[in-house]
Structure 1
Amino acid sequence: MKKIAVFGKPGSGKSTMSKALALATGIPLYQLDSIVYEPSGKLVPREMFDKTHEKILSGETWIIDGFGPIDSFHQRLDAADTLVYIDLPYLMSYWFVTKRFLKGLVVKPEGWPDGSSVLKGTLESYKVLRLCPKFWNDDFVSKLQERSNTKEVIVIRTVSELNEFARQNVK
């Protein structure tokens, strides 16, 4: 594992898992929300994002957490040697988004862009969760599994599997 893409629905534990992996392995972590958004919460200009994203992908090692623009997502899937898809049940993702919001009233959530509104981000997460079944579905998982011939593909479907993955990979 040298180039790791961690992705999934909002509230699936991507940022927490990615940070733990980075600490355990020493591989640099890039959280997409911090690259896609300015500290004010506005989107960075697309050209700036693309330049930053390409620079990261050209590195020898990285962990990238998040989704971002669809074409950049596919570039990451191609460039990574390890794909970690966290596919928790929707009810669990809704609970984790809500929990992140409540906790965010006191402390900035893991991987949250500096200066971004936790309330706006939470509402956006709920909106995205409603749309997720159109993208994160069995067809996507099948296409992801096709990549397992050339890279390690890990699909995590439960909190128990998430904890087990962390136990095995974060020492």
Structure 2
Amino acid sequence: MKKILLIGSGGAGKSTLAKQLGKKLSVPVYHLDTIFWKPGWTPSERETFRAKVEELMSGDEWIMDGNFGGTLDSRLQRCDTVIFLHYSRWTCLSRAVKRRFMYHGKSRPDMTEGCKEKIDLDFLKWIYFYNDRKAPEVIQKLRQSEIENIIILKSPAQTEKWLNTISSS
């Protein structure tokens, strides 16, 4: 596991797991949210974002967390491991709401400074429908890929158990 892609619904805990895994493996972690979003929730230019992701993927080791469909195919081609947090909608929704309160009025550590934590109906709907609408597409892409190491974790408890099997470097 040298080039790891971490994907899943909003609120699943991708960034938290990426940090934990990065620490255990001594591999640099890149949160795609911090690359895409500029202060004030201003999106980056698509081409600028893609170029930065490509640059980061040229490294020998990395962990990238985030979905960002516009770069997913490229990232799937370059990674050696995919970790898909395929949690229930209720787990993800409750975690997203909890995160909103935990970081009220400030930017969370895995987000660009100046992007104060927020939650809106569109984001909640995206999380609610993720397993119905997005997850099947992701699973299909994973099945069609040539990635040998695909790890699908279905609950926080399963993730914690799996993480405990990973030895530190």
The question of a shared fold, defined as TM-score above 0.5 by the shorter chain, is answered with yes
Shift in CA distance, 166/82, structure 1 to aligned 2, threshold 3 Å? same
Alignment-mate amino acid for residue 25 of structure 2: T
Instruction: Give unpaired runs (5+ residues) of structure 1.
Output: none
Question: Is residue 28–residue 62 contact of structure 2 (8 Å, CA) maintained in 1?
Answer: yes
Aligned twin of 1:129: 127
Alignment-mate amino acid for residue 21 of structure 1: L
Aligned twin of 2:50: 50
After TM superposition, the structure 1 = structure 2 runs for residues 20-169 of structure 1, keeping only pairs within 5 Å, are 20-68=20-68, 70-105=69-104, 108-119=107-118, 122-123=119-120, 124-132=122-130, 133-137=132-136, 140-147=138-145, 150-169=147-166
TM-score after normalising by structure 2: 0.89
State the alpha-carbon separation in 2 of the partners of residues 79 and 163 from structure 1.
Answer: 26
Question: Is residue 8–residue 87 contact of structure 1 (8 Å, CA) maintained in 2?
Answer: yes
SS at match of 2:76: helix
Aligned twin of 1:19: 19
Identical-residue share of aligned pairs (%): 23
State the alpha-carbon separation in 2 of the partners of residues 13 and 85 from structure 1.
Answer: 11
How far does residue 117 in structure 1 lie from its aligned partner after superposition? 2.4
Shift in CA distance, 170/32, structure 1 to aligned 2, threshold 3 Å? farther
Instruction: Give unpaired runs (5+ residues) of structure 2.
Output: none
Shift in CA distance, 85/9, structure 1 to aligned 2, threshold 3 Å? same
TM-score after normalising by structure 1: 0.88
Question: Is residue 145–residue 153 contact of structure 1 (8 Å, CA) maintained in 2?
Answer: no
- Report the RMSD for the aligned CA atoms in angstroms: 1.9
Alignment-mate amino acid for residue 165 of structure 2: Q
Shift in CA distance, 143/162, structure 1 to aligned 2, threshold 3 Å? same
Per-residue deviation, residues 47-81 of structure 1 (Å, max 9, x unmatched): 2111101101111111000012x230111111100
State the alpha-carbon separation in 1 of the partners of residues 48 and 125 from structure 2.
Answer: 26
Question: Is residue 8–residue 86 contact of structure 2 (8 Å, CA) maintained in 1?
Answer: yes
Question: Is residue 15–residue 110 contact of structure 1 (8 Å, CA) maintained in 2?
Answer: no
Per-residue deviation, residues 18-74 of structure 1 (Å, max 9, x unmatched): 001111111111100001111221001112111101101111111000012x23011
Shift in CA distance, 90/170, structure 1 to aligned 2, threshold 3 Å? farther
Alignment-mate amino acid for residue 55 of structure 1: E
Alignment-mate amino acid for residue 30 of structure 1: Y
- Please state which structure has a larger fraction of its residues in helix: 1
State the alpha-carbon separation in 1 of the partners of residues 163 and 107 from structure 2.
Answer: 22
Alignment-mate amino acid for residue 102 of structure 2: K
State the alpha-carbon separation in 2 of the partners of residues 130 and 158 from structure 1.
Answer: 16
